[in-house]
């Protein structure tokens, strides 16, 4: 999934030291440890949709009473030793008489939007990895619902989800983790301002690298945070002043973080879990300091939703409820290097020590973004990127 591209690059580094501890934490709470047992034999096959997109379907060669087809982004399942997917599959299959079949179409949610437009069955029961922007996109493109609301009482752990992370007014998407956008800075080269206004000081001229909000989810989150801070009528002027103070806007998170790592600037827009990676890699933590501007972090929660046409309603609900268990929430957080969506998860001490949460989490609601998101980003592109 594009909003967390940074995890693909760095997750394997982190798991060398942190992932084993988290798995051990959860193993005592589940019926079977992750390094053996049901579902250990897997097979892969290519999937192709009506839109020509391709991806991977991963399942087991063993028979089971039923199969739950779960679509997600490739980084959720691509590394058996560090991605959440393989661990979740093995743990769930060890407890329930169900086979999890992961589907990772290349075009992610767009694959299923195109199938719906063509009148084709989605071919999946559940989607893991939705965010607010994706919900808005599918609601703008589709007349009939792609996902079904979660019925009241269907999930026993639903009430544990933090209210601040709820992002679907129709109760289709249930949050399961979140990241927070922040500044990462190298204190051996510079300090970092406390506020958005501080970024405009001549002291920080040329010090910040960020991402293009029209091509990067991280950049889009930072843009939205500036709109939160400066208002719809003031954010374009703020960005002009950022430009006058030498901000660099690069295409993707990978581009910007590589430039930052190469010393091209002492500050970069990234994620507040940056020190988790740095510590696992034995890096100098002085070069991985976190700053929450205005004491805030922009929250970007991920959610899961059941396809409206699935016949496996009970099993899909069971899997979603499983993902909200405290011990499972902790494992997802460690493997995705994000924060749990629930109030009940207990993070491993090593992870909690280096993962930073803001004093205040801010985000735009679905209602606030619908009808405005494209307008805001297009206006930014016309004023900033085109000059």
Decide: residue 265, CB within 10 A, 0-12 exposed, 13-18 middle, 19+ buried: buried
Q: How far is the CA of 274 from the CAs of 121, 177, 271, 347, 359, in angstroms?
A: 40, 16, 6, 16, 17
d(CA 156, CA 318): 9
13: helix, coil or strand? helix
* Residue 82 lies inside a defined structural domain of this protein: yes
Measured at the CA of 44, the angle between CA 335 and CA 37, to 5 degrees, comes to 60
* Residue 132 lies inside a defined structural domain of this protein: yes
Helix (H) or strand (E) holding 374: helix 373-380
189: helix, coil or strand? coil
**Beta-carbon contacts of residue 103 (< 8 Å; ≥ 6 apart):** 47, 55, 56, 57, 69, 70, 71, 72, 123, 124
Contact 197, 204 (CB under 8 A): no
Give the pLDDT of residue 65: 74
Say yes or no: 26 and 134 in one domain. Answer: yes
* Residue 377 lies inside a defined structural domain of this protein: no
Say yes or no: 291 and 309 in one domain. Answer: no
Say yes or no: 304 and 166 in one domain. Answer: yes
Say yes or no: 278 and 348 in one domain. Answer: no
Say yes or no: 23 and 134 in one domain. Answer: yes
Contact 85, 74 (CB under 8 A): no
CATH at residue 276? 3.40.190.10
Mind giving me the DSSP string for 305-337? EEETT-S-HHHHHHHHHHHTSHHHHHHHHHHHT
* Residue 294 lies inside a defined structural domain of this protein: yes
**Cα torsion at 42, 46, 49, 55 (round to 10°)?**
80
* Residue 387 lies inside a defined structural domain of this protein: no
Helix (H) or strand (E) holding 93: helix 84-95
DSSP designation for 208: E
Say yes or no: 133 and 265 in one domain. Answer: no
Say yes or no: 171 and 50 in one domain. Answer: yes
* Residue 36 lies inside a defined structural domain of this protein: yes
Say yes or no: 41 and 84 in one domain. Answer: yes
Give the pLDDT of residue 81: 75
Helix (H) or strand (E) holding 376: helix 373-380
* Closest residue by Cα to residue 292 from 195, 221, 218, 382: 195
d(CA 160, CA 115): 34
* Residue 383 lies inside a defined structural domain of this protein: no
Say yes or no: 166 and 190 in one domain. Answer: no
Domains of the chain: total: 2
Say yes or no: 269 and 346 in one domain. Answer: no
Say yes or no: 117 and 196 in one domain. Answer: no
* Residue 7 lies inside a defined structural domain of this protein: yes
Give the pLDDT of residue 387: 56
Contact 319, 92 (CB under 8 A): yes
Say yes or no: 152 and 61 in one domain. Answer: yes
Give the pLDDT of residue 68: 98
Range of the domain at 154: 2-179+299-352
pLDDT in tens, 90-119: 999 999 999 999 999 999 999 999 999 999
What is the mean pLDDT of each successive set of 10 residues along the chain, which is 387 residues long?
42 38 34 27 37 51 75 91 93 97 96 97 97 94 97 97 94 97 97 98 98 94 98 97 97 96 98 94 96 97 97 97 98 95 95 95 94 94 78
């Amino acid at each position: 999934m594009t909003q967390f591209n940074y995890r693909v690059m760095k997750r394997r580094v982190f798991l060398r030291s942190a992932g084993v501890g988290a798995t051990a934490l959860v193993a005592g709470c589940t019926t079977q440890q992750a390094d053996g047992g049901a579902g250990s034999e897997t097979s892969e096959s290519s999937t192709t949709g009506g839109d020509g997109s391709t991806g991977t379907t991963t399942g087991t060669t063993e028979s089971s009473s039923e199969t739950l087809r779960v679509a997600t982004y490739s980084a959720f399942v691509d590394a058996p030793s560090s991605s959440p997917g393989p661990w979740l599959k093995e743990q769930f299959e060890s407890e329930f008489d169900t086979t999890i079949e992961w589907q990772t179409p290349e075009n992610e949610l767009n694959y299923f939007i195109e199938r719906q437009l063509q009148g084709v069955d989605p071919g999946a029961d559940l989607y893991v990895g939705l965010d607010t922007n994706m919900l808005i996109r599918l609601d703008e493109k589709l007349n009939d619902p792609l996902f079904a609301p979660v019925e009241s009482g269907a999930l026993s752990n639903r009430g544990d989800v933090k209210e601040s992370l709820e992002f679907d007014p129709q109760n289709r998407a249930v949050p399961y983790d979140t990241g927070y956008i922040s500044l990462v800075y190298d204190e051996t080269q510079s300090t970092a301002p406390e506020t958005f206004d501080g970024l405009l000081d001549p002291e920080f001229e040329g010090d910040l690298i960020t991402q293009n909000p029209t091509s990067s989810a991280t950049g889009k989150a930072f843009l939205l945070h500036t709109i939160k801070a400066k208002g719809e009528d003031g954010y374009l002027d703020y960005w002009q002043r950022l430009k006058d103070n030498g901000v660099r806007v690069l295409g993707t998170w990978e581009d910007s973080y590589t430039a930052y790592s190469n010393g091209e600037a002492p500050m970069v827009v990234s994620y507040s879990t940056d020190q988790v990676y740095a510590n696992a890699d034995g890096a100098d933590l002085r070069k991985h300091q976190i700053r929450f501007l205005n004491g805030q972090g922009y929250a970007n929660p991920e959610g899961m939703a059941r396809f409206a046409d699935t016949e496996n309603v009970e099993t899909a609900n069971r899997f979603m409820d499983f993902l909200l268990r405290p011990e499972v929430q902790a494992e997802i957080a460690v493997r995705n290097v994000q924060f749990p969506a629930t109030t009940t998860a207990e993070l491993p001490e090593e992870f909690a020590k280096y993962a930073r949460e803001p004093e205040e989490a801010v985000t735009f609601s679905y209602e606030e973004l619908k009808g405005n998101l494209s307008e805001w980003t297009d206006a930014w592109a016309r004023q900033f990127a085109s000059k």
